[in-house]
Amino acid sequence: MSLMKNLSDKELERGIKDFLEAAPKTYLPGVSIDTVIFSFHNNKLKVLLLRLGDMPYFSLPGGFIKKEENLDDAALRTLQERTGLENIYLEQFYTSGNAIRFNENIVHEKLKTLVNLPDNNWLQQRFISVCYYALVDETKVNPQPGPFTSEFQWVDIKKVPTLLYDHNLIIQKALNRLAADLDQKLVGFNLMNETFTMGELQKLYEAVYQKKLVRTNFQRKMLSLNVLERLEKQYNGKAHKAPYLYRFMEAKCKC
Amino acid sequence: MSLMKNLSDKELERGIKDFLEAAPKTYLPGVSIDTVIFSFHNNKLKVLLLRLGDMPYFSLPGGFIKKEENLDDAALRTLQERTGLENIYLEQFYTSGNAIRFNENIVHEKLKTLVNLPDNNWLQQRFISVCYYALVDETKVNPQPGPFTSEFQWVDIKKVPTLLYDHNLIIQKALNRLAADLDQKLVGFNLMNETFTMGELQKLYEAVYQKKLVRTNFQRKMLSLNVLERLEKQYNGKAHKAPYLYRFMEAKCKC
DNA sequence: CTATTATTGTATCATGATGATACATTAATA
DNA sequence: TATTAATGTATCATCATGATACAATAATAG
C-alpha cells in the first residue's frame, strides 16, 4: 500500500529551504530521532517507511529535538506530526551513533539536486540518533509529509528492503525489543483492534516472534493471563465453528 | 573506600581550562556519555562515583564523543581513560535527555568558582547523554582523574546517595538492565574472579536482584546451565565443609 | 435433514523448571 | 569424639509448557 504524496520537486525545495532556515535556531544540533512505527493489519506486522524525492532507498521517519524540549516529548511530537495520532505507545530502545553512516553521501547529493545547498549545511552534520518504537493503528494513521518526505509506505516486516543509514539494523533491534516487551509488558494489545479473535492475536505473536506457535497452547497461555474478556461469538459466514471475540482488560494488567 | 586524589583547585582550574579550549574542536557538541561502572567486591555490588572539587553531590563518570569517533568506541575510550582497563564488558542501555537537569545550575556555579568562565561556555550547553553500563574488576581498576574529578569512590549499590542530574534514575535503569542480562546473557561472570564459590556467586545474584535466593535451588539452577567447571575445594579454615571452587567456561556459553 | 468440512475450544499426558524441605557430608573446634 | 556451621544432593509438590486427542459447531453439499 503506497501512499504517494507526489510532492513535486518545487514543493520539496520550498520545504527543505524553510526547514534549513529555521533548524539552527529551533533544534538541537547533532541529535536526531528515528522512529520504528509498527502496525498490525490484515494479519501482517508492518513498519512505516518513507522516501525522499525519487531516492532509491527508503528510510525511517524521524525528527529533531527542540532546544528546550525533553527528549521523550520530542519523540512524541514528531510522531504526532507525522501520523496525526494522540495517545501513542512509544518506547525508547537504542541510540545509534556511528561516525560514518551507510549511504549518507547519497542523501546529501540528493538534497543538493533539490535545493542549492552549501557544503556543511545543517543537515550534513553528523547526527547521533535516538531510536523509539511506536505501536499504532494503521487505519487511524493519516501520514503527513515532513519537509523530506515525498512518499509513505506501510511495508510488511518480512519484506523490508535495504534502507538508508543503519535503519535495517534499527528495525531489527526494535523488533527484538518488541518481542521482549510482548512477553513482559503485554504491549501487543496496542496493535490489536478493540476486539479480536484468538487466531488474530496469535498471528501478531507469530509475526513478532517470527515463528509458528501451537494454537492450543497459545490459547491456554493467553487465557491464563486473566487479561482477556470473552465477548460474543463472531459469525463470519465460514463453514466452521465461530470464534469468540476478546477484549483486552487494561485494568487487570500492570502496564 | 574513598580514593582521594586531592586535586588542588589550581590543578582543577588548569585541567578545566585546557579541556574547554580543546573541547569545541575535539568533541561533538550536545552529546555526552555517562557510564555506570559496576564491580562486585567483598560480596558487595558497587558503582564508581566521582566528585568535582568539594561539591555536595557525586555523579557518574562519563565523557564526550570525538568528532569522527563511533559512539560505542567513545564509550570504551572514556571508560579506559578513567579505569586503565582493557577488555571491558560494556553495554548501552538508555539515553537521557530532559531539557532541564536536576541541580545542573549547581555544577555551573561550581565551575565558575574554579575557573573564570563566560556564560554559555561549552560545558553549559544542553547535553543528551547516552548511558552505558560496564562490568569491571574493582581490584584491577586504577581510577584516573579527568578534568572534572577530584575524588573517586566505590559505593555500595544499596547506599548510593542523591546524585547530580538524573544519575540516580540512570543507575536504577542500569541495575534493571543488568538483572535482565544476568538471566539472559550470563554477564554476571564478568564481575566474578576467575574462580569463585557458589556462595559468592549467589551473593552477586542477590545483590543484583535485590532479593534473597534459596541456596539449594540456586545451586541446582547454576549447575544445570552446564557452564561451570568444578575445581578443587577451597579450604578456608572455617569449621565446616569446604566449598568447591568453580570457573566459568566461556566456550559453553553463547555470550 | 444429514453428512461433511474446517476451524475452534477444551482436556489430557509427558516433560521440565522451580519452590520448599529433608538429609547426608565435612572441616575445624571444643 | 561430639559439636557446629556451612555445603552438596535428593526428593516432593507445584506450575508452565509441548504435544496430542477430541468434542463442539457454523456453514455447505448431498
DSSP state for residue A251 in the 8-state scheme: G
Please give the single-letter amino acid code of residue A6: N
Confidence bin at B43 (pLDDT 50/70/90): very high
pLDDT at position B195 = 95
Confidence band, pLDDT 50/70/90 cuts, at residue B255: very low
* Closest-CA residue of chain B to A70: B98
Least confident of A6-15, A33-42, A162-171, B25-34: A6-15
pLDDT at A81 over 50: yes
| In contact, B111 and B117? CB cutoff 8 Å | yes
| pLDDT the model gives residue B254 | 45
User: Looking at residue B7, what is its pLDDT?
Assistant: 65
A113-116: which pairs have CB atoms within 8 A and are 24 or more residues apart?
A113/A53, A114/A9, A114/A12, A114/A13, A114/A16, A114/A53, A115/A12, A115/A13, A115/A16, A115/A17, A115/A20
Residue B152's DSSP bridge partners are B3, B50
Instruction: Establish whether the CB of B240 is closer than 7 Å to any nucleic acid atom in strand C.
Output: yes
Give the confidence band of A66 by pLDDT, cuts at 50, 70, 90. very high
Residue B48 to residue A25: CA distance in whole angstroms: 38
Burial class (CB in 10 A: 0-12, 13-18, 19+), B220: exposed
SS3 B117: coil
DSSP letter for B234, please.
-
Residues facing A247 on adjacent strands: A195, A229
User: A240 beta carbon < 7 A from strand C?
Assistant: yes
CA dist A89 → A104, A178, A186, B41, B147 (Å): 30, 12, 12, 40, 41
pLDDT above 90 coverage of chain A, percent: 73
Q: Which residue has the cell 535503569?
A: B173
Q: H-type helices in A118-253, by residue range?
A: 167-185, 198-209, 215-224
Q: Is the pLDDT of residue B4 over 80?
A: no
Contact criterion met (CB < 8 Å) for B70 and A130: no
Q: Which segments of chain B are extended strands (E)? A: 2-4, 27-41, 44-51, 58-59, 62-66, 89-96, 128-135, 151-156, 195-196, 228-233, 244-248
Mean pLDDT, range B136-146, rounded to an integer = 90
| Residues B214-252: tens digit of each pLDDT | 999 999 999 999 999 999 888 888 877 889 999 999 765
Interface of A with B (CB under 8 A): 28-31, 65, 67-72, 92, 94-99, 126, 128, 130
Helix (H) or strand (E) holding B172: helix B167-185
Query: At B151, is the pLDDT very low, low, confident or very high (cuts 50, 70, 90)?
Result: confident
Confidence of residue A3 (pLDDT cuts 50, 70, 90): low
> Which residue gives the smallest C-alpha to C1' distance to C17?
B221
pLDDT at A97: 96
Radius of gyration, CA atoms only, chain B: 20
User: Are A95 and B96 in contact (CB < 8 Å)?
Assistant: no
CB B73 within 8 A of CB B65: no
Residue A7 — φ and ψ, nearest 5°? -65, 130
CA distances (Å), A177 to each of A209, A252, B93, in order? 11, 23, 12
pLDDT at A2 over 70: no
Q: Residue B238's pLDDT is what?
A: 83
Residue A128, min C-alpha distance to chain B (Å): 8
Q: How far apart, in whole angstroms, are the C-alpha atoms of residue B18 and residue B118?
A: 15
Q: What is the pLDDT of residues A170-202, one digit of tens each?
A: 999 999 999 999 999 999 999 999 999 999 999
Report yes or no: A78 and A33 within 8 Å, Cβ to Cβ: yes
* Domains of chain A, each with CATH number or no CATH: 2-183 (3.90.79.10), 193-252 (1.10.10.10)
Which bases along strand C come within 7 Å of a protein CB atom?
4-12, 17-22, 25-29
**A35 has which bridge partners?**
A132
Cα separation, B218 vs B229, whole angstroms: 16
CA distance B53 to B6: 9
CA distances from B137 to A96, A191, A195, B157 (A): 28, 44, 53, 16
Minimum CA–C1' distance nucleotide for B198: D7
Chains A and B form CB pairs within 8 A to the count of 60
Q: What pLDDT is stored for residue A120 in this prediction?
A: 84
**C-alpha pair distances (Å), A210 with each of A168, A193, B52, B212:** 16, 21, 49, 36
| CB A162 within 8 Å of CB A168 | yes
Q: What's the rounded mean pLDDT across residues B122-137? A: 96
C-alpha grid cell for residue A30? 547533532
On average, the pLDDT of chain A sits at 91
User: Does any strand D atom come closer than 7 Å to the Cβ of A211?
Assistant: no
Q: How far is A48 from chain B (nearest CA, A)?
A: 23
Percent of all residues in chain B with a pLDDT value above 70, rounded to a whole number: 95
- CA-to-CA distance for A197 and A234, rounded, in angstroms? 8
